[in-house]
Amino acid sequence: MNKLLIVGSVAFDAIETKYGKTGTILGGAGTYIGFAASYFDLDSAIVSVVGNDFPQEYIDLLTARKINIEGLEIDKEGKTFFWRGKYHNDMISRDTLETRLNVMESFEPKVPEAYRNAEVVMLGNLHPLVQLSVVEQLTSPKLIALDTMNFWMDNNWDDLLRVISKVDIVTINDEEARQLSGEHALVRASQVIQKMGPKTVVIKKGEHGALLFQEDRMFFAPALPLEEVFDPTGAGDTFAGGFTGYLAQSGDYSFENMKLAVVYASNLASFCVEKFGPDRLLSLTPAEVNNRLKSFIELTQFNMKLV
Ligand code: AMP
């Protein structure tokens, strides 16, 4: 069984959308990545930090999904990372109202001995120097993917470029790709990002699907049109967990297989947005995943006679 090492925030979130407002709930990029990856036959582990206020029942949710938590540090001196965001009525754009790094500020990740040889590594959205430190602890990675966000581009630009130069894949959303590359057209943006180091770039466009670029090859997968998006939080991370989980399970890192990974990832992300927080990912059954994959195939199949 291949190993997937996940690095990312395990956090408290407070979310507001047009459908309502949550109190403090379980969140974090690492959490969503882990839950998404748990749909695959994998040996996955998470490296992160939480504070003394983090409930055991949330930790139990991770272990119940067979995610190894040896690398999840509990900092008894501090409080858990907290993020508060409010979505606009389009349910795509959002304002970050509060980011309290708390224990994340001084986090020094320690990759457990047993996972230093992980085949696939998903560096979720976190301080770029934390991501870099994880990369430096790996012994024989076959594929390293990285996600990031505008917060790190605004505050830690040079560190971000350093870690990006060491990874194989960047998965980011369209606005972040534009900010990172300085290019508006996404094809150009992907070319600029590839010059920074990663051979493959995945650009997530929310309800407009996802684009996969590798050298002169390009692939597009739509997002499944949904009647209602309840809370988009974590959809990008769910995508990242689905994408790397699929690749790690198969052990096939070819462009053709990455196309399937993008579809699988889009499928998982479409469930994430149906409820507040990660709840929907926890109640999902393999039959539901398969049925929606069938809808994906039907959505994109057509027969056209070329003259
Ligand atoms: P997404 O909607 O996929 O962009 O991810 C949302 C998740 O990212 C939330 O659960 C937050 O806890 C987490 N998050 C937001 N800002 C940061 C940050 N600066 N560093 C790490 N995680 C973050």
- For 131-182, the pLDDT digits (tens) are 999 999 999 999 999 999 998 999 999 999 999 999 999 999 999 999 999 9
Average pLDDT over residues 37-45: 97
Mean pLDDT of 115-119: 98
Neighbouring CB atoms inside 10 A of 84's CB total: 18
Q: How far is the CA of 142 from the centre of ligand 1 (A)?
A: 26
CA 151 – CA 154 distance, rounded (Å): 5
Q: What's the pLDDT at 307?
A: 84
> How much of the chain exceeds pLDDT 70, in percent?
100
Q: Is any ligand 1 atom within 6 A of the Cβ of residue 153?
A: no
Written as one string, the DSSP assignment of 61-129 is HHHHTTEEEEEEEEETTS---EEEEEE-TTSS-EEEEEEE-GGGGG------GGGTT-SEEEE-SS-HH
Asked if residue 276 has pLDDT above 90, the reply is yes
Name the residue with the closest Cα to ligand 1, atom 5.
234
Residue among 104, 97, 122 at smallest CA distance from 265: 122
For residue 124, give both structure tokens: 């979720």
Helices (H), 146-285: 150-155, 157-164, 174-181, 186-195, 235-250, 255-272, 279-283
Q: Give every CB contact of residue 172 below 8 A, 6+ residues apart in sequence.
A: 147, 148, 149, 180, 201, 202, 203, 204
Residue with CA nearest ligand 1 atom 16: 83
How much distance in Å is there from the Cα of 29 to the middle of ligand 1?
5
Does the pLDDT value for residue 40 go beyond 90?
Answer: yes
Tell me: pLDDT of 228 over 90. no
* Residue 14 bridge partners (DSSP): 84
Q: How far apart are CA 265 and CA 261, in angstroms?
A: 6
pLDDT in tens, 278-306: 999 999 999 999 999 999 899 889 899 99
- Provide the pLDDT for residue 104: 95
CA torsion angle for 104, 83, 149, 214 (degrees, to 10)?
90
Contact 170, 202 (CB under 8 A): yes
Q: Which residue among 233, 275, 276, 279 is best mutated to probe the pocket of ligand 1, counting the most ligand atoms within 8 A of its Cβ?
A: 233
Atom of ligand 1 nearest to the CA of 152: 19
Ligand 1 atom closest to the Cα of residue 12 is 12
Please measure the distance between the N-terminal and C-terminal CA atoms of the chain and give it in whole angstroms. 48
CA dist., res. 245 & res. 298, Å (int): 24
Residue nearest to atom 21 of ligand 1 (CA): 126
Q: Which residue's CA is the nearest one to ligand 1's atom 1?
A: 234
Residue 226: the pLDDT is 85
Q: What is the pLDDT of residue 206?
A: 86
Q: For a substitution probing ligand 1, which of 7, 105, 125, 155 has the most ligand atoms within 8 Å of its CB? A: 125
Confidence class for position 261, pLDDT limits 50, 70, 90:
very high
Helix (H) or strand (E) holding 173: strand 169-173
Q: 147 CB under 6 A from ligand 1?
A: no
Q: What is the pLDDT of residues 178-220, one digit of tens each?
A: 999 999 999 999 999 999 999 999 999 988 899 999 999 999 9
Ligand 1: residue whose CA is nearest its atom 6: 234
Residues 30 and 9: beta-carbon distance below 8 Å:
yes
Quick check: 44 and 4 in contact, CB under 8 A?
A: yes
Q: Is 27 in the pocket of ligand 1 (CB under 6 A)?
A: yes
SS (H, E, C) 245-272: HHHHHHCCCCHHHHHHHHHHHHHHHHHH
Residue 27 corresponds to which amino acid?
G
99 CB under 6 A from ligand 1? yes
Q: Is the CB of 150 under 6 A from ligand 1?
A: no
Confidence of residue 227 (pLDDT cuts 50, 70, 90): confident
User: How much of the chain, in percent, has pLDDT values that exceed 90?
Assistant: 91
User: Among 31, 94, 149, which is best to mutate for testing ligand 1, by the most ligand atoms less than 8 A from CB?
Assistant: 149
220: enclosing H helix or E strand: strand 217-221
Span 72-112, pLDDT tens digits: 999 999 999 999 999 999 888 899 999 999 999 999 999 99
Distance 128 CA to ligand 1 centre (A): 14
| Whole-prediction pTM | 0.96
> Length of the chain in residues, anyone?
307
pLDDT given at position 207: 85
> pLDDT at residue 121 above 90?
yes
